[in-house]
């Protein structure tokens, strides 16, 4: 799922292409992608784009008459920009928005259709999409600490909770916890002031670093390879590959559609965290430390 760095670069790439420009056409190729009826999607045709912003992991395109197009890419949704009348082949395209310079497509891979578009009128209607998460890059340490301590959860769960923190998901939570050298299963209620400060700095540094990397990769172009799995990442999606810091094989915990990746030597003092499925299956044979694996 595109997170804060990816969405930020999407927005920066959209601004020179559509900000201030008239929407000349809007179509939902897949009716399911459009989750609202009033106002209709056709209401934005003829309007000019006045704002493009991020709301959590959502992209918000504001037009004349306070109409807003709210796009949530979910896991497999992506934005594509095509110029010169070029179209997206196959069934990937779910919706499109035509402009003078080109067409913005919302595509989604796979059979599950989770990406969504909402068209709403007015600031009050837009506010319903604000989950209330803290914008870490705009916050100070005291605000960050207050959010962490407001509920008692594991660090992984708290960091990815959109009610607590904005724009952080599965991928970058793995990366920032590795940078902070902290266990994804450590409880927020047991964090010291020093640990919270360490996590705060790691969170900011990770989000800024990856935003800068993605921005440099895109340059003046448009993001075409948006993915949660990047070769330069330290642990996310790198199960069994060597940790770039200590060289130990990256470990993982799998649950539902997600997984947590971590380095046992760097983050958990060498202890392997129990994977519900595998540790129950192996029982006494489940290794307790990274030394048993290596």
Alpha helices in 37-98 (DSSP H): none
Quick one: tokens of 1? 């799922």
pTM: predicted TM-score of the whole model, two decimal places? 0.92
pLDDT tens digits, one per residue of 103-156: 999 999 887 889 999 999 999 999 999 999 999 999 999 999 999 999 999 999
The rounded percent of the chain whose pLDDT value lies above 70 is 93
The CB density around residue 273, as the number of other CB atoms within 10 Å, is 16
What is the DSSP-derived secondary structure letter of residue 188?
A: G
243 and 287 part of one domain: yes
153-184: pLDDT as tens digits: 999 999 999 999 999 999 999 999 999 999 99
Q: What pLDDT does residue 281 have?
A: 43
Are residue 141 and residue 287 in the same domain, yes or no?
A: yes
For the stretch 36-80, pLDDT in tens is: 999 999 999 999 999 999 999 999 999 999 999 999 999 999 999
Q: Report pLDDT for 17.
A: 97
Cα–Cα distance between 95 and 144 in angstroms, integer? 37
- Asked if residue 264 and residue 235 are part of one domain, the reply reads yes
Instruction: Give which of 26, 96, 15 is closest to 51, Cα–Cα.
Output: 15
How many other β-carbons are positioned within 10 Å of the β-carbon of residue 38?
8
Mean of the pLDDT values across residues 233-241? 96
Last residue of a domain, one of 77, 98, 127: 127
DSSP H or E segment with residue 61: strand 58-63
State whether 169 and 201 are in the same domain.
Answer: yes
Higher pLDDT, 90 or 200: 200
Instruction: Write the CA distances from 251 to 1, 85, 201, 261, integer angstroms.
Output: 21, 46, 24, 6
- Band of the pLDDT at 292, cuts 50, 70, 90? low
Identify whether residues 48 and 141 lie together within a single domain.
no
3-state secondary structure of 181: coil
Cα distance between the two ends of the chain: 32
- The predicted structure's pLDDT at residue 228: 85
Position 284 scores a pLDDT of 46
Residues 30 and 171 in one domain: no
Q: Are residues 163 and 99 in the same domain?
A: no
pLDDT confidence of residue 269: 93
Integer-rounded Cα Rg, in Å, for the chain is: 21
Average pLDDT, the chain: 92
Cβ-contact 236, 170 below 8 angstroms? yes
- Look up the domain containing 275 and give its range: 136-293
The pLDDT, as a whole number, for residue 85 is 81
pLDDT, average across residues 187-206:
97
**How many domains does the chain divide into?**
2
Distance CA 238, CA 21 (A): 42
115 and 163 both lie in a single domain: no
List, in order, residues 6 or more apart from 266 with CB less than 8 Å away.
178, 181, 243, 245, 246, 248
CATH number of residue 248's parent domain: 1.10.8.50
């Amino acid at each position: 799922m595109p997170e804060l760095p990816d969405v930020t670069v999407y927005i920066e790439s959209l601004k020179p292409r559509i900000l201030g420009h008239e929407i000349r056409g809007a179509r939902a190729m897949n009716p399911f992608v459009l989750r609202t009826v009033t106002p209709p999607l056709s209401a934005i045709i003829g309007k000019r784009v006045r704002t493009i912003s991020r709301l959590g992991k959502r992209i918000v395109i504001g037009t004349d008459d306070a109409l807003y197009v709210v796009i949530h890419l979910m896991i497999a949704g992506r934005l594509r920009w095509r110029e010169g009348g070029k179209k997206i082949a196959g069934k990937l395209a779910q919706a499109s928005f035509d402009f003078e310079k080109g067409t913005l497509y919302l595509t989604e891979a796979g059979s599950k259709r989770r990406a969504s578009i909402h068209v709403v009128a007015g600031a009050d209607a837009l506010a319903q999409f604000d989950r209330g998460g803290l914008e870490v890059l705009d916050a100070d340490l005291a605000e960050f600490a207050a959010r962490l301590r407001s509920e008692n959860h594991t660090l992984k769960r708290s960091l990815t909770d959109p009610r607590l923190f904005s724009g952080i998901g599965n991928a970058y939570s793995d990366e920032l916890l590795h940078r902070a050298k902290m266990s994804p299963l450590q409880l927020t209620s047991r964090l010291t002031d020093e640990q919270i400060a360490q996590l705060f700095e790691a969170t900011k540094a990770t989000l800024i670093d990856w935003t800068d990397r993605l921005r440099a990769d895109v340059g003046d172009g448009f993001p075409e390879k948006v993915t949660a799995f990047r070769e330069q990442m330290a642990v996310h999606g790198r199960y069994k590959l060597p940790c770039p810091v200590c060289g130990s094989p990256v470990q993982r915990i799998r649950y539902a559609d997600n997984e947590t990746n971590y380095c046992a030597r760097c983050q958990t003092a060498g202890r392997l965290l129990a994977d519900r499925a595998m540790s129950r299956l192996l029982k006494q044979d489940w290794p307790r430390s990274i030394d048993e694996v290596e």
